[in-house]
């Protein structure tokens, strides 16, 4: 999957733990900057810097509400990441579903009844 | 991630060079551990839906090597190998991992940390894969894409056959 190598990439933007934290907070509803600053407990310039990166990749949108600037989450840019990672997840789910069977038989040898001979062939 | 039990593997990307898989198992920790170190057990699950494991070699000691080979349904062979770096029975395995389809893979191996946490009869497994660059990480994730699509096709085929 070809992607831009800078912060213009949602994938890169969410690699930063603070930015993920901001997204988590916004997932609970739109918030003005000062509320985010309070919730995060870090200086406002730092919060603003993260918000700018998130805005650049389209993960948050901002609008004015009276004298406040309110930030809102937009999950759309994450969709392609989600789809991409989900396929990798499926590979592991298939493995671990088989592992469930193995573990079940280790705990209950009576249930095995040579079933796995067939699976392995 | 919530605290509830998940029987679905959850993949997350803690950083540009890491992949983290989390999965809970309804089995005690020592059994989940065995299923990761005993060749006869590894053979039964490691290929997933992609094919069949032909061999699993495990020299379970620090500095010892492991190698798994599978034949995919499409007929081609897929092999991985690595070296054990740390072994804490029932709790933790740290090893390198190299996909043999990549030239000179041994020069730049991934480092995998398997951690087993006892949840009171159940077990949480986390697999942290650490690589040298985002490009390598993306390649690993892309490989999941191919197989995931293949599994989708296989499932579709089964459904089609069941209708026939």
Measure CB to CB from residue B141 to each of A88, A102, A119 and give the nearest one. Answer: A88
Let me know if residue B153 belongs to a domain.
Answer: yes
φ, ψ for residue B20, nearest 5 deg = -120, 125
Q: Is residue B3 part of a domain?
A: no
- Structural domain of B78: 10-163
pLDDT confidence of residue A28: 85
Radius of gyration of chain B (CA): 17
Examine the predicted complex and report whether its ipTM is higher than 0.90. Answer: no
Tell which B residues from 39 to 68 touch A, by Cβ distance under 8 Å: 41, 43-50, 52
- Residue among B21, B23, B148 whose CB faces A87 most closely: B148
Q: CB-based contacts of A51: which residues, under 8 Å, 6+ apart?
A: A22, A33, A36, A60, A62, A71
Q: Residue-wise pLDDT tens for chain A (121 aa)? A: 444 444 557 777 777 788 888 988 898 889 999 999 999 999 999 999 999 999 998 889 999 988 889 999 888 777 767 777 887 888 899 999 999 999 999 998 886 655 554 444 3
Neighbours of B52 (CB within 10 A): 16
Say how many domains are in chain B: 1
Search chain A and give the residue with CA nearest B145: A87
- Cα–Cα separations (whole angstroms), residue A112 to A19, A101, A103, B44, B81: 48, 9, 10, 13, 30
The encoded tokens of residue A7 equal 């912060």
Across the interface, of B13, B35, B152, the residue whose CB is closest to A85 is: B13
Of A91, A93, A107, the CB nearest to B27: A107
The pLDDT assigned to B6 comes to: 53
Alpha carbon of B51: minimum distance to chain A alpha carbons (Å): 10
User: To the nearest whole angstrom, how far is the Cα of A100 from the nearest Cα of chain B?
Assistant: 7
Considering only CB atoms, which chain A residues are within 8 Å of B34? 106
Q: What are phi and psi of B83, to 5 degrees?
A: -130, 140
Q: Which of A61, A89, A39 is nearest to B13 (CA)?
A: A89
Distant-in-sequence, close-in-space partners of B121: CB < 8 Å, separation ≥ 6: B28
DSSP string of A43-93, one letter each residue? -HHHHHHHHHHHHHTTSEEEEEETTEEEEEE--GGGHHHHHHHHHHHHHHH
Which residue in A has a C-alpha nearest to residue B16's C-alpha? A15
Contact A91 B50 (CB under 8 A): yes
Domain contains B92: yes
B1 within domain boundaries:
no
Is residue A97 a contact partner of residue A119, using CB atoms and an 8 Å limit? Answer: no
Look at residue B100 and tell me if it is in a domain: yes
Please indicate, yes or no, if residue B4 is contained in any of the structural domains.
no
Shortest Cα distance from A99 to chain B (angstroms)? 5
- Give the residue among B83, B147, B96, B93 at the shortest CA–CA distance from B115: B93
Q: Smallest Cβ distance to B23: which of A86, A96, A106?
A: A96
> Are the Cβ atoms of A89 and B46 closer than 8 angstroms?
no
Task: Say if B5 falls within a structural domain.
Answer: no
* SS3 state at B68: strand
Pairing of strands A60-65, A68-73: antiparallel
Helix A17-27 vs helix A33-40: angle between axes, to the nearest 10 degrees?
120
The tens digit of pLDDT for each residue in B94-142 reads 999 998 888 888 999 999 999 999 999 999 999 999 999 988 888 888 7
Return the DSSP state at B52.
Answer: E
CATH of the domain at B157: 3.30.530.20
Q: Which residues contact A3 (CB under 8 A, 6 or more apart)?
A: A9, A11, A12
Whole-model pTM: value is: 0.68
- For residue B95, being part of any structural domain is answered with yes
Chain B: closest CA distance from residue A82 (Å): 10
Percent of the residues in chain A that have a pLDDT greater than 90, as a whole number: 43
CA nearest neighbour of B26 among A95, A102, A111, A92: A102
* CA pair distance B40, B111, nearest whole angstrom: 24
Query: Which residues in chain B touch residue A12, judged by CB atoms under 8 angstroms apart?
Result: 16
Cβ-count burial A51-61 (b if 16+ within 10 Å, e if not): bebbeebebbe
């Amino acid at each position: 999957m070809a992607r831009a190598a800078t912060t213009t990439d949602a994938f890169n933007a969410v690699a930063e733990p603070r930015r993920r934290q901001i997204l988590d907070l916004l997932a609970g509803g739109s918030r003005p900057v000062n509320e985010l600053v309070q919730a995060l407990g870090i200086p406002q310039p730092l919060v603003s810097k993260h918000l700018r990166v998130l805005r650049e990749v389209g993960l948050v949108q901002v609008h004015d509400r009276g004298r406040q600037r309110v930030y809102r989450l937009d999950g759309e840019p994450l969709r392609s990441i989600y789809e991409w990672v989900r396929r990798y997840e499926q590979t592991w789910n298939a493995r671990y579903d088989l592992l469930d069977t193995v573990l079940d038989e280790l705990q209950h040898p009576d249930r095995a009844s040579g079933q796995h001979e067939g699976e392995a062939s | 991630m919530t605290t509830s039990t998940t029987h679905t593997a959850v993949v997350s990307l803690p950083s540009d060079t890491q992949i983290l898989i989390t999965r809970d198992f309804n089995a005690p920790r020592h059994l989940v551990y065995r299923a990761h170190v005993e060749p006869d057990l590894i053979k039964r699950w490691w290929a997933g839906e992609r094919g069949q494991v032909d061999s699993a070699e495990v020299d379970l000691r620090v500095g010892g090597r492991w190698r798994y080979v599978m034949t995919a349904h499409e007929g081609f062979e897929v092999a991985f190998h690595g070296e054990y770096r740390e072994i804490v029975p029932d709790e933790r395995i740290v090893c390198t991992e190299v996909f043999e389809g990549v030239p000179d893979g041994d020069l730049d191996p991934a480092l995998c940390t398997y951690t087993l946490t006892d949840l009171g009869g159940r077990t949480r497994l986390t697999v942290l894969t650490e690589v040298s660059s985002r490009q390598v990480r993306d390649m690993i994730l892309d490989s999941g894409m191919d197989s995931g699509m293949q599994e989708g096709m296989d499932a579709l085929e089964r459904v089609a056959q069941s209708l026939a």
